[in-house]
Chain A
Amino acid sequence: MSLLSFNLPLAALLPFFAAPFAAWATRYNRLASAWVAGITTLLTLALLFPSMAFVFAGETIIQQWSWLPSIGFNIAFRLDGLALLFALLILLIGLLVIIYARYYLSAKDSMGRFYAYMLMFMGSMLGIVLSENLLQLVVFWELTSITSFLLISYWQHRQDARQGARMALAVTGGGGLALLGGVLLLGHIVGSYQLTDVLASGDLIKGHDLYLPTLVLILLGVFTKSAQFPFHFWLPHAMAAPTPVSAYLHSATMVKAGIFLLARFFPALSGTPEWVWLVSSAGLITLLLGAYVALFKHDLKGLLAYSTLSHLGLITLLFGFSSELALVAAIFHIINHATFKGSLFMVAGIIDHESGTRDMRKLNGLFKMMPHTAVLAMIAAAAMAGVPLLNGFLSKEMFFEQAISASGTPLAIWTIPALVTLAAIFSVAYSLRFIHDVFFNGEPIDLPKTPHEPPRFMKIPVDILVVLCLLVGIAPMYLISPILTVAVASSLQTAAPEFSLAIWHGFNIPLLMSFIALVLGVAVYTMRHRLFAWNEKGLHSLDGKAVFDWLLWKTIRLSKKVTDAFDQTTLQPAVTWVIGGALVLGIVTFFQFNSPLIGNRVMMEADVITLLMSLILIVASLLTVILHHKRLVALIAIGVVGLIVALGFVKFSAPDLALTQLSVEVVTIVLLLLALFFLPQHTPQERSYIRFTRDGVISVSAAVSVFFLAMAVLSRDYSPISGFFIENAKPGGGGTNVVNVILVDFRGFDTLGEIAVLALAGLGIFAMLEGLKLFAPTKDVDGLVWSHDPHPPIMQTLTRLLFPLMLMVAVFIFLRGHNLPGGGFIAGLIASVALISQYLANGIDWTNERLRIDMHRVIWIGLLIATLTGVVSMFIGYPFLTTSFTYLTWPVVGKFEVASAIAFDLGVFLVVVGATVMILVELGKLSHASHHIKKEEVN
């Protein structure tokens, strides 16, 4: 397998692998995490590098592995021109942001957390653009929502950050759900979730009855992510994030994810009137709204946020035009916007960092203090305004041209050019404000800090981006043409149309529009004070946040109402509801069938011993209930119940179960005894007779229902599926104990899940008991002092003598488990009992001194062994957890079977021992500690 056959998934996943490493590295050196992040980014670039030549030659690289073929879910990655363009944007701008953030973050901020989030976000973005399978794309899509939530709320102590992050998550996460719906519909229409198939079936999709719902759902995902009207409001509030995050997420990458989808699905969805109307109207409104509001924002980042909205609207509008040349302009503008907006955000961050404020009413005349930064800002802002010789000018010209030629679309012939020019006028005005207000316009007004130039390396990322703006603006043909051509071709799925990237196209209408925009933009800026005053009167209060908050509040209230109607926040009624509900459902279903209650299977004769045992069990059960106020007695009674259940398993041909039940019984009773020490010895009498009656009725009806259910089943014949297991146990699983072969082989995956649950229960108990302090009574129920001799010598001697024997039994039971009753579970329990009896008889200190094994380690080694057994079979080319076995002839022992299942069973054994011993010893330590405390107090 060469690297080129799996470099795409590796590139998308590498940042995820590196993220915990970045978080960990920061422990040793504050800057180490930045290095980890930077090197990871470079490595990812290097991973993609070998494939680039193929992409530039026009190939589409697809790497896929089938995973759940039945529902069309493959792990599939794709690299074509469009994916490459976006991957490069994500990685290159990511690298610059990583360098920049290293200087931006203050000593108080956790670098490790920041870079870990950054890397995870980068991986999610790469996953989106590199996905060939659409379901997989949706997974990465949601991951960007989650990681961006983490990044926006990076300063967790700030309320605006938390609120902004929550809003972004709610809006984009909701959009993600809609997208999932759209993708499912798309898969339903096409019959495949592979992008290649979907892109090839454009006509089928557009002609399908479900086209409109599909389109609307997908566009909901796109518009929420790319902050298009009416979902634009989350973006300005997400500006509470650290500025490197804004530069990365909110200019270059995440908000472009929606637009990426527009480009990706262009051949499949575009061109219909529905598409044109929905996409262009959302784009146009966002373009105008963003441009207008940006001018009035006094916050530097607020201005940039709304200007970003406006540019995203511009790109969306271009997609809405649905023509091939509009697509060229859109993709070109994606690149340009990422460069100039990324650098402007970084400049805003520098100004904030150096002066302590982002309020443009205070920031004035900074040119003298930071000339280098000012020059960078001017070039970038000029690019944003669309000044000639810069990249923004080129794509804006193309945009104007498309706006004019879009007159063929249903939108009226002159409105679009006029509205577009209006937006451009505002764009010039706010760009001018960013420069003039901040760097000139008099002297600064009481800044928290005296600004000066930032560290050199903080400017270098900005330098690079600004130089790119210039180079692309002056020599577009050489720099941008190749990648743009392949990106457009792969977005269209045909050859790219002829387009010319030149600075000079002669005197034409687009140039005139640019000219009008520049002149009127300056004019609007000069009369800004009057506009501000006019805007203050009312328009500024328009904010989607109010609507969002109102909706959120309503939803929370509704869910509270529903919850309160069902949940009285006390356990007893809740349990009553659950059991009562189950009873009603069961009984109603029972009466729906007319067949007789008791079947006609020949029943067995009851023998005297079984009768006697059953009677004892019934009496013991009832005693447990009757005497439950005396807890110790009730515990003994329930112990009797458990033991008789074990005997019952012996009687009815289940030796494995009997062994398990017996050892579990011992462990359970010891555990409950240990716990009872810390609990009241008596249960107080409950006084409510209504409740007694109600609970009595419920219990009796439960008992009666279960009786009839059991009788109905037991009195009927059935055809079990076990024949398969019995036939295949020996030839397929290599063991004669069918129960064990089912556990470790046929249903091995279940068992793996079960030991994982047991391990988690053990760890959960460990976590709960950590630091727990409980009052330990000095006297027992009858007021007697506890025995002074907790470890009687006879018991000590006996258990020490028995210990090796018990372990031998465990080993014996374990080894024979595959062929005779026994196995990992039972052997594990027996070994646990052996260990626990040592703790009981000799005390924790004595035993711990001799048994220096960390039970945590035992648990994870066990889980690891069990999982690895399964993984190994995958490497050999069989499904997960396939067992294999062979026969060896050993001297003395003779023919001996070696099955891989025994390794799996060893894992089971270790987890059972680890979890059981850990649970009991941790509880035991508790009483141990409380005794010690008391002794100290006495002294």
Chain B
Amino acid sequence: MEWLIASVIAVMTGCGVYLTLRARTFPVVLGLTMLAYAVNVFLFAMGRLQVGFPAVIDPAAAGYTDPLPQALVLTAIVIAFGMTAFLIVLALKARSELGNDHVDGLHRSDDERKAKRHNNKTDSERSAS
């Protein structure tokens, strides 16, 4: 079971990282959401995997699961939602201000030349100011 959960966390991390590295805002938001899932499950798993143990006090219970990671992850889920919401609205704002949804606010889709040109542009801006 453990190796299964570890691979689930691993796949979600990998996919999250890949999407976070993309050049458009929407995939980046998806990537961060995915990373948040991975992190939450990872944190949760730090309490070790327990099947059938309650986190509620019960005299009849044979044992308890670790409630602390659960409490931490519970708030983490809500905060992750807040962050996702903030990011996606930031993406909307960027789209309306910059006219496109590139993470750097660039129109050019050619990534190869983009970085170079962008550097040139900022240099000329600096020398102008």
Q: Which A residues form the contact surface with B (CB < 8 A)?
A: 568-573, 575-576, 579, 601, 603-607, 610-611, 614, 617-618, 621-622, 624-625, 628, 631, 634-635, 638, 641-642, 645, 648-649, 651-657, 660-661, 664, 667-668, 671-672, 675-676, 678-680, 683-684, 686-688, 691, 695-696, 698-700, 702-704, 706-708, 710-711, 713-715, 718, 720-722, 725-726, 729-730, 736-740, 742-743, 747, 750-751, 754, 757-758, 761-762, 764-765, 768-769, 772-774, 819-821, 825, 829, 912, 915-916, 919, 923, 926
Interface size on B, residues (CB 8 A): 90
B98 at interface, CB cutoff 8 A: no
* CB–CB B47/A720 < 8 A: yes
Across the interface, A765 reaches (CB within 8 A) one of B23, B53, B86, namely B86
Q: In the complex, what residues of B have CB within 8 A of residue A718's CB?
A: 48
Q: In the complex, what residues of B have CB within 8 A of residue A750's CB?
A: 75
A570 to B48, CA, bound (A): 40
How far apart are A525's CB and chain B's nearest CB, in angstroms? 48
A617 to B15, CA, bound (A): 12
List B59-98 residues whose CB lies under 8 Å from chain A. Answer: 64-68, 70-71, 73-75, 77-86, 88-93, 95-96
* CB–CB B5/A720 < 8 A: no
B128 at interface, CB cutoff 8 A: no
A612 to B38, CA, bound (A): 18
Query: With A624-B30, A722-B67, A751-B75 in contact, is A758–B119 under 8 Å at CB?
Result: no
How far apart are A918's CB and chain B's nearest CB, in angstroms? 10
A747 to B52, CA, bound (A): 25
A638 to B19, CA, bound (A): 12
Q: In the complex, what residues of B have CB within 8 A of residue A704's CB?
A: 10
Count A-B contacts at CB 8 Å. Answer: 313
Query: With A638-B33, A653-B53, A742-B71 in contact, is A675–B89 under 8 Å at CB?
Result: yes
* CB–CB A628/B50 < 8 A: no
Closest 3 CB pairs of A and B: A703-B14, A707-B10, A761-B82
Most A CB within 10 A of own CB, among B34, B114, B122: B34
Across the interface, A642 reaches (CB within 8 A) one of B37, B45, B70, B89, namely B37
* CB–CB A621/B109 < 8 A: no
Q: In chain A, what residue has the closest Cβ to B122?
A: A569
Across the interface, A742 reaches (CB within 8 A) one of B10, B58, B68, namely B68
Interface of B is mostly: helix
List 5 A-B pairs, Cβ < 8 Å. A656-B55, A668-B85, A684-B24, A737-B56, A762-B82
Interface of A is mostly: helix
A645 to B85, CA, bound (A): 19
* CB–CB B21/A576 < 8 A: yes
How far apart are B121's CB and chain A's nearest CB, in angstroms? 9
How far apart are B21's CB and chain A's nearest CB, in angstroms? 5
* CB–CB B55/A737 < 8 A: yes
Q: In the complex, what residues of A have CB within 8 A of residue B77's CB?
A: 657, 660-661, 664
Q: In chain A, what residue has the closest Cβ to B48?
A: A714
Q: In the complex, what residues of A have CB within 8 A of residue B57's CB?
A: 726, 729-730, 736-738
* CB–CB B112/A603 < 8 A: no
A85 to B22, CA, bound (A): 65
Q: Given A680-B101, A707-B6, list of 16 further CB < 8 A pairs?
A: A568-B118, A570-B114, A624-B19, A638-B34, A653-B52, A657-B70, A671-B84, A672-B30, A684-B109, A707-B10, A720-B68, A726-B57, A757-B79, A769-B89, A821-B55, A923-B92
* CB–CB A714/B88 < 8 A: no
Q: In chain A, what residue has the closest Cβ to B40?
A: A645
Q: In chain B, what residue has the closest Cβ to A676?
A: B26
Q: In the complex, what residues of A have CB within 8 A of residue B52's CB?
A: 653
How far apart are B24's CB and chain A's nearest CB, in angstroms? 5
Q: In the complex, what residues of A have CB within 8 A of residue B109's CB?
A: 684, 686-687
Q: In chain A, what residue has the closest Cβ to B20?
A: A575
* CB–CB B111/A825 < 8 A: no
* CB–CB B22/A683 < 8 A: yes
Across the interface, A743 reaches (CB within 8 A) one of B14, B75, B103, namely B75
Q: In the complex, what residues of A have CB within 8 A of residue B48's CB?
A: 601, 714, 718
Q: In chain A, what residue has the closest Cβ to B7?
A: A707
* CB–CB B37/A641 < 8 A: yes
* CB–CB B24/A825 < 8 A: no
Q: In chain A, what residue has the closest Cβ to B3?
A: A711
Q: In chain A, what residue has the closest Cβ to B9?
A: A710
Q: In the complex, what residues of A have CB within 8 A of residue B6's CB?
A: 706-708, 710-711, 714
Q: In chain B, what residue has the closest Cβ to A621?
A: B15
A720 to B48, CA, bound (A): 10
Q: In the complex, what residues of B have CB within 8 A of residue A656's CB?
A: 55, 70, 74
How far apart are B22's CB and chain A's nearest CB, in angstroms? 7
* CB–CB A715/B78 < 8 A: no
Q: In chain A, what residue has the closest Cβ to B47?
A: A720
A757 to B6, CA, bound (A): 30
How far apart are B18's CB and chain A's nearest CB, in angstroms? 4
Q: In chain B, what residue has the closest Cβ to A641?
A: B37
Query: With A695-B21, A750-B75, A825-B75 in contact, is A761–B86 under 8 Å at CB?
Result: yes
How far apart are B28's CB and chain A's nearest CB, in angstroms? 8
Q: In the complex, what residues of B have CB within 8 A of residue A730's CB?
A: 57
Query: With A606-B1, A702-B14 in contact, is A761–B66 under 8 Å at CB?
Result: no
